Structure 1
C-alpha cells in the first residue's frame, strides 16, 4: 500500500504544497480559517503522517535516539526500554530495534540511515574499532552497555558483574553447598563472562571444587533442556546465567519430580519482574535495570549537548545486589 504523501493532502484539499506544509507546521497566520480546515480535514481523511526524518532535515529540534537490543522476549530489556521512555525529555523520540547477533552491524547501519542523532547499543560488538570508525565518520555519538568490553572509544554503562558472580557463590557456599554447577550459553558476552569468572574465582579462593559447566541456550527453554545434565551432575546448587534460564531449570526439575530448594538450590541473575512472583520465588543477583536505562539515556543526551564539547569518556559501573528468596536453602547432603 502506497504511503500517503504531502502531495496527496494538497490535491485532496485543493491547495498548494507550500500551504499544506505551513499549515501542518503551525505557520497559519496568513491563511483563512476555511483553508486551514480544508488542509486538516484532508490530513485526517487520508491518514497522513508527517515524515519525522524529513522534519529533522528541515530543522526540527526533536532528537532521535536509536536503541539496539538483542531481543524483546527477556523482560530485562523491556524494563530497560520503559525506563528510557519514562526518563526522556519531550523533545526526544526513541527508536527501538532488535537484531540477531550476526546482523548487529546491519542494524546499526539501518538506524543511522533512518536519521538517528545518537545510538545506545545494548548488544555485544564483535568489531568495536570498525564500528567506532563508521559512527565517527557519520558523526553519530553512541553509548554501549555491558555486553561489550570497554575499549575506550565511547561511554559504557555496566554493573559490577564480577562482584555479582561472587555474591552468588558466597551465598551458596555459606549454605554448605560444595557441589556446584553453572548453566550458561556456549558463547558468553563480556558481562556474562565476568559474572561466571567471579563465581568460579570465589569458589577457588574458598577451597570449593571448580563448578561443573553445562551449556545451553540463553532462555527458559535452554534452562529446561539442561535439567537432565543437572540431575546427572549430582550438584546440590546451580548458578544460572540469567533469570530466564533459572526459571526454565526450576520448571524442568519440577517435571522430573525434584523440589527446589529441598533437592537443588537455584540462583539466577538480573532480578526481572517475575522473579519475585514465582513459586518458589527466585533468589537472584539483581541488576539495577531501570537505572541502567536512565543512565544510558542521560549519557547519550550529554553527548548530543553542544555545550559539553570537552567531556571525558564515561565508564559507569553500577552495583549488584543479592536478593535472597525461596529457591536457596542449606545443602541437603543426603541427596547429593
Structure 2
C-alpha cells in the first residue's frame, strides 16, 4: 500500500511538504514545524488548524519522506503467529539483538495464527519495512513464493522453494523421541496434532510415521488442536480414548495443558502415559512432572535469519550464497517419560485404537 499523494498545479504528484502545510493553515513554516514536532509550544486553536491541514494534505514528516524517497526505512518486520507463545520469545530476542547491532529497527507483528491476517499485514505495512522475517508462516507455498519475488523475506521453520529460510530441524527431534519411547517399551504412540495450516506440524507427523515403522511402533494422529495450553484438555482426552501408552504433542503449550488434564482424570504421568513436548519453552522444566521435550536453538534461529536477510539487502555485499540454514534439535529427557505400563490402566480406554 503506497501513501496517498496530492496533485499540484505544476502537473506533478508529490508528497506535501511542511511549507505546503504552513500555507494551507495560514501560518509560518516555523510555526507549523513547532505544532507538529512540539505541540505544547503552539496554542490549541492554531495547532488544531495545522494538524487538520496536515491530515488533508497527507503530510509525511521528513524522516518518513526520506525513507520513501530512498526506498529504505532501516526497519525489518518480524511476523509471529502468536506473540504470547513463549516459543517466539527467543526468536524475537534474537532478531532484536541482531537488528539493533546493525542499526535497524524491529517491527513486531502478531498474526494470530491467521494466514489472512498475515497476508493483509504484509500488504498494509509494506511501505514501513525493507524486508520481513516470517516465523512459522501460515501462508501457502504458492503465496509465500509469490511474496518472496516481491519482498525480501526469510522464513523461519518453513522450507519453500525459492524462499530463503532458517529451518529448525524438529522432525529429526521427533525421530529421536520415537526412539526414546520405543526403548522404554512403548508400542503405541499418539501424535497430538497442531494447526492444519502449520507447515512444521505435517513434517513432524511424517517424521513420527517414518520412525515408527523403523521401531515397529503403532501410531495414531489426533487433532488438530490449537497450539495453546487450553487445548490440552481435549488433546489429553483424545489420547486416553486412543488407548496409547505414549504421546508426542505438537508443542510444549499443548503438552502442559495435557498434563493438567491428566491430573484431573487421575492419570499418572509417566506411570500410565508418557508425554513428550516440543520447543523446550521457558517453564517446560517447571511442570509437574518436568516435561521431556525437543530442545532447539531458538534464539540462534532469529539471529541467523536477520544475518541472512541483511546480507540480501546490502547492495554492496557479494551475492548471497546461502539461501538456507538448518539448525539441529535434540531430545531433553525429563520426568514425563518412563517405561510403558505392563498392563493397561483403568484410566485408559482401549476402544477406538487405530
Q: Same fold (TM over 0.5)?
A: yes
Deviation at 1:127, TM superposition (A): 4.5
What is the deviation of 1:6?
Answer: 6.8
1:178 alignment partner in structure 2? 187
Counterpart-to-counterpart distance in 2, 1:154 and 1:96: 21
> Do the aligned partners of residues 270 and 6 (structure 1) sit closer, same or farther apart at CA in structure 2, a change above 3 Å counting?
farther
**Equivalent residue number for residue 223 of structure 1:** 232
- 1:293 corresponding residue in structure 2: 302
Q: Partner of 1:53 in structure 2?
A: 64
How do 1:313-332 residues align onto structure 2 when only pairs under 5 Å count? 313-332=322-341
TM-score by length of structure 2 reads 0.77
In the TM superposition, 1:207-218 aligns within 5 A as 207-209=216-218, 211-215=219-223, 216-218=225-227
2:268 aligns to what SS in structure 1? coil
Shift in Å at residue 63 of structure 1? 0.8
Given that residues 232 and 258 in structure 2 are in contact (C-alpha distance below 8 angstroms), is that contact kept between their aligned partners in structure 1?
yes
Distance 1:102 1:315 in 2: 26
1:82/1:10 Cα in 2 relative to 1: closer, same or farther (>3 Å)?
farther
Asked if residue 272 in structure 1 is aligned to residue 281 in structure 2, the reply is yes
Note the alpha carbon deviations across 1:168-220, whole angstroms, 9 max, x for none: 101111111112111103615222222221122111112222x1211133221
Residue 53 to residue 131, structure 1, CA distance change in 2 (3 Å): farther
Q: Distance in 2 between matches of 1:188 and 1:307?
A: 38
Equivalent positions of 1:11-22 (< 5 A) are 16-17=29-30, 20=33
CA distance in 2, matches of 1:300, 1:169: 35
2:320 alignment partner, SS class: coil
CA distance in 1, matches of 2:215, 2:147: 46
Q: How many Å separate the matches in 1 of 2:29 and 2:206?
A: 66
Superposition TM-score, scaled by structure 1 size: 0.81
Q: Are 2:149 and 1:150 equivalent residues in the alignment?
A: no
Q: Conserved in 2, the CA contact under 8 Å of 1:6 and 1:17?
A: no
The answer (yes or no) to whether the contact 2:73–2:129 under 8 Å persists in 1 is no
Within 5 Å, give how 1:1-336 maps onto structure 2: 16-17=29-30, 20=33, 42=41, 53-57=64-68, 63-88=74-99, 89=101, 91-99=103-111, 100-112=114-126, 114-122=127-135, 123-128=137-142, 130-134=143-147, 136-137=149-150, 140-146=151-157, 148-151=158-161, 153-185=162-194, 187=196, 189-209=198-218, 211-215=219-223, 216-336=225-345
Displacement of 1:19 in angstroms is 9.3
- Give distance in 2, aligned partners of 1:107 and 1:192: 24
Residues in 2 aligned to 1:332 and 1:52: alpha-carbon distance in whole angstroms: 66
Match of 1:36 in 2: none
Three-state SS of the structure 1 residue aligned to 2:302 is helix
Cα distance between partner residues in 2 of 1:185 and 1:242: 8
Q: CA deviation at 1:229?
A: 2.1
Q: 1:94 to 1:236 in 2, by over 3 A?
A: same
Q: Residue 274 of structure 1 aligns to a residue in which SS?
A: coil
SS in structure 2 at match of 1:124: coil
Moved more, 216-225 or 269-278: 216-225
Deviation at 1:144, TM superposition (A): 1.2
In the alignment, is the contact (CA less than 8 A) between 2:195 and 2:201 conserved in 1? no
Q: Could you give the per-residue CA deviations for residues 25-57 of structure 1, whole angstroms, max 9, x where no partner exists?
A: xxxxxxxxxxxxxx69739x99x9967533423
